[in-house]
Amino acid sequence: MRIAIVNDVRAASEALRRVVSSLPSHTVAWIAADGVEAIAMTKRDRPDLILMDLIMPHLDGVQATRQIMASTPCAILVVTATVSGNISLVYDAMGFGALDAVDTPTLGPTGELTGAAALLEKISTVAKLLGTSTDARRPTHPIEAAAAPRLLVIGASTGGPKAIADLLQPLPRDWPVAVVVVQHVDVAFSQGLATWLGERTGQTVRVAEHGERPQAGAVLLAGTNDHLVLTKHGTLEYREEPREIFFRPSVDVFFESVADHWRQAGVALVLTGMGRDGAKGMLRLRTSGWHTVAQDEATSVVWSMPKAAIELGGACQVLAIDQMPRAITSRLTAG
């Protein structure tokens, strides 16, 4: 995989170069010192992955991510000195299409690398995302949800945080609808993402707890590196299986469990994202009577997931993100 490095600190760039070069499957495509240079170099030579710093002169990593994803989109991993210390900027970058974030490895006085393993793990996940499609989970039990609210389920990946915020903000507060979101995000960021979404939208957003039920008027976010599933008892649980699906949490796994176990048909959305996760699950929901909507290409940061759902026949509608709130509200509050 050809990987570009964007960082204004020479020692950090060298640490990243050493990490990338440590495996024969990775090569350094180029190194840029700031966001302006990164945009220009991406246009001339688009890499497979960009390791993007956040705090840089001239143009920071958030705006560089926004401009690159708008003009020459490619996979971007935020690599910054402290993810926890820049968490708001991390979510902003993810909203514009960054896939994930990790702390920058450091070089010790004798040249030893610290933090390389975490970065290599993130790069490995991106490599799978770029070259693999998922296998959907095979359903098991057909059952129920007694006295359950109407249900809106959402799957998203690259660019998802901003799309989800844009979707949730216009929706009614305290309406008789439960919302469950599966966003590809590491467990380290799930609680912060829930807080960020709540602050951005005014909705009640929190991480789903193992064993609880979807609740009307609340937005529950999948919050671990295991898959979120709906059980035959109408409760939400986290499960390791199926282990072979590397998207964790998987939209397909969640959607298929909902098709198996939720009594009343609701609305399912597949939003912006890289890969094919959600396509098979959306088709299952559509054939179970659900109204299914895929985000259109023009408003998606990356159109792979919605496109896959459309091509598989899983989407009843294709809408821009700003058209979805009215359509959802009309569908879920009618009758």
Q: Are 33 and 157 found together in one domain?
A: no
- Residue 10: which CATH number? 3.40.50.2300
* Residues acting as catalytic residues: 157, 184, 277
The tokens describing 255, both together, are 């959607």
What 3-state DSSP class applies to 245?
coil
The residue behind tokens 């707890």 is: 209
Residue 226: name the closest of 246, 199, 211 by CA.
246
**Domain boundaries, position 265:** 150-333
> Are 102 and 169 within one domain?
no
81, 103, 131: which is the final residue of a domain? 131
106 lies in some domain: yes
pTM: 0.75
Do 183 and 268 sit in the same domain of this protein?
Answer: yes
CA distance 207 to 30: 39
In a domain, 145, yes or no: no
Pairwise CA distance, residues 68 & 327, whole Å: 31
The reported pLDDT for the residue numbered 147 is: 56
Cα 171 to Cα 169: distance, rounded to the nearest angstrom: 6
For residues 53 and 188, membership in a common domain is answered with: no
- End-to-end CA distance of the chain, in Å? 52
Is 141 domain-assigned?
no
Query: Is 138 within the bounds of a domain?
Result: no
For 322, which DSSP code? G
Taking the C-alpha atoms of residue 140 and residue 148, their distance in angstroms, rounded to an integer, is 21
Q: What are phi and psi of 198, to 5 degrees?
A: -65, -40
Regarding whether 45 and 102 lie in a shared domain, the answer is yes
Tell me whether residue 144 is in a domain: no
316 Cβ partners below 8 Å, 6+ apart? 286, 291, 292, 293
Tens of pLDDT along 169-197?
A: 999 988 899 999 999 988 889 999 999 99
Q: State whether 26 and 161 are in the same domain.
A: no
- The total domain count for the chain is 2
Asked if 156 and 295 count as a contact pair (C-beta separation under 8 A), the reply is no
Flag whether 139 is in a domain: no
Residue 294 lies in a domain: yes
Which residue ranges of the chain lie beneath pLDDT 70?
131-147, 334-335
Element (H, E) at 270: strand 267-270
Last residue of a domain, one of 131, 161, 180: 131
User: What pLDDT shows up at residue 139?
Assistant: 35
Q: What angle do CA 16, 19, 24 make, to 5 degrees?
A: 130
Q: Are residues 280 and 307 in the same domain?
A: yes
Asked whether residue 126 falls in the same domain as residue 169, the answer is no
Let me know if residue 261 belongs to a domain: yes
Burial 156-177 (b: 16+ CB within 10 A, else e): bbbbbbbbbbbbbeebeeebeb
100, 198: one domain? no
Are 88 and 120 members of one domain? yes
Contact 171, 216 (CB under 8 A): no
Instruction: Specify whether 188 is located in the same domain as 266.
Output: yes
Task: Indicate which CATH number applies to the domain containing 251.
Answer: 3.40.50.180
Using a 10 angstrom Cβ sphere, with 0-12 exposed, 13-18 middle and 19 or more buried, the burial of residue 330 is exposed
Q: Torsion over CA of 250, 256, 260 and 262, rounded to 10 degrees? A: 70
Structure tokens at 142: 């057909």
Domain boundary, last residue among 104, 131, 158: 131
